[in-house]
Amino acid sequence: MEEYDYGIIGGGPAGYTAGIMLATSGKKVVLFEKDKLGGTCLNKGCIPTKAFLHISDLYSKLQNASSYGFQTGNITFDYKKIVDKKNQIVDRLRKSLELTVKNSGIKTVYSKACVKNKNTIIAEDKEYIVKNIIIATGSKPKEIKGLEFDGKFILNSNDILNLESLPKSILIVGSGAIGIEWARILSAFGVEVSIVEMAEHLIPQADIEVSKRIERIFKQKRISFFLNDKIKKVDNKKVVLMSGKEHTPEKILVAVGRTPIYPECDCKSILGDACGEIQLAHYAIHQAKAEVLGIPFNKKLVPSIIYGEPEIAWVGIKEQDTDDSYQKNILPISALGKSWCDDCTDGFIKLITKENKIFGAHIVSKEASSLIHILITAMQNNIGVKDLQKICFAHPTYAEGIFDILMKCN
């Protein structure tokens, strides 16, 4: 019977981060993973989706290459090779992670594990004695009654990664990060995309002006969306909405979020998606750091990012949650010379401030996923607007847009 300082169930961002940190600090760690290291993020979420986004954006640029002086002829694509490329990226990153975990001294057991008691984990009929248990079992796609997944017509975010060919049309249910990113990917590859959203605007969790801008961009890209609506019934592949509108998509993608996979035990340390809080990989990673190293982080300043062109990023309070005591300033990205050089002029930087402090930041722009961290650093460390105005930002960059908007703030 083997004994360990820590037994960790789940090899996603929370589990492997905690394991590596514990092992490198001298603790004896056993990590249980029933599928593949990396969890949803690496294998079925963030990484493969971003690979598809990059390729779809490249395809869109190639189609418009003539505007840059290139004569490319008729551009076509082989979707199977695109899927192969995505798999290569995921496999390479997973092998790197597996090597890092191995070199840290962690014992990895590829098996479903269950907790027998507070000091015993069972996997493959073998008992592992541990002083501490960390649960990081992750989440799974959320299912809606009447839209049960069949992997053929009604898909979840796992299923769509495994398609061998693209449908001619698709109806996406939900407009969070998963729905928006797949709408962008599929539309870029020529799929007729429609979105149905129960809320009044796309990306209902975002600032209202972000939502409105994305709606405008989607209209330009001919991505249809139906707001304040939902599916009433599906009859022989004909979809009827509550509004009475009817659709006959080739596929349906249900993208209404994920459900925590709760552990079948009473455990104090539950990290990542399984804890039922913010379901983001970076949140899980910092949870693990807080748990293992005691490094705290401000849960109110966790950035939200939706990828594609333009990127969408935000942190802090939204305009719809403020009153007249807050100041709002917006800078159009088209005011930046770099945006014209990159042909990426659609978007804005928006700051919500009060008494010399930043309380909310909302960006629609190329490089938004990087820009947002400049503002988070200031917010986290209570750096005032007037102090930020003293920083020299390089030109031409997107970052200087932050300086420009700071100069508008009182």
Whichever domain contains 352, its CATH number is 3.30.390.30
Measured CA to CA, the distance from residue 196 to residue 229 in angstroms comes to 6
Residue 120 and residue 184 in one domain: no
Centroid of chain to Cα 161 = 15
**Tokens for 383?**
């750096």
Length, in residues, of the chain: 410
> Both 50 and 193 in a single domain?
no
Q: How far apart are the first and last CA of the chain?
A: 66
135 and 151 inside one domain: no
In this structure, are 88 and 172 located in the same domain?
no
Do 240 and 164 have their domain in common?
Answer: yes
Domain around 14: 2-140+258-293
Q: CA–CA separation, 402 vs 391, rounded Å?
A: 10
In this structure, the number of other CB atoms found within 10 A of the CB of residue 191 comes to: 19
Contact 231, 239 (CB under 8 A): yes
Query: Residue 268 has what pLDDT?
Result: 81
Residues 350 and 238 reside in one and the same domain: no
Q: Are 372 and 396 in contact (CB under 8 A)?
A: no
Q: Which two tokens stand for residue 103?
A: 């070199």
Quick one: 136 and 147 in the same domain? no
Q: Do residues 132 and 272 share a domain?
A: yes
Q: Could you read off the pLDDT of 341-354 as tens digits, one per residue?
A: 999 999 999 999 99
Kindly state whether residues 8 and 63 are assigned to the same domain: yes
Can you give the CATH number for the domain in which 108 is found?
3.50.50.60
Total count of domains within the chain: 3
Same domain, 122 and 262: yes
- Point out the domain boundary residue: 268, 293, 318: 293
pLDDT above 90 as % of the chain: 92
For the chain, residues with pLDDT lower than 50 are: none
250 and 286, same domain (yes or no) = no
Q: Tell me, yes or no, whether 206 and 224 share the same domain.
A: yes
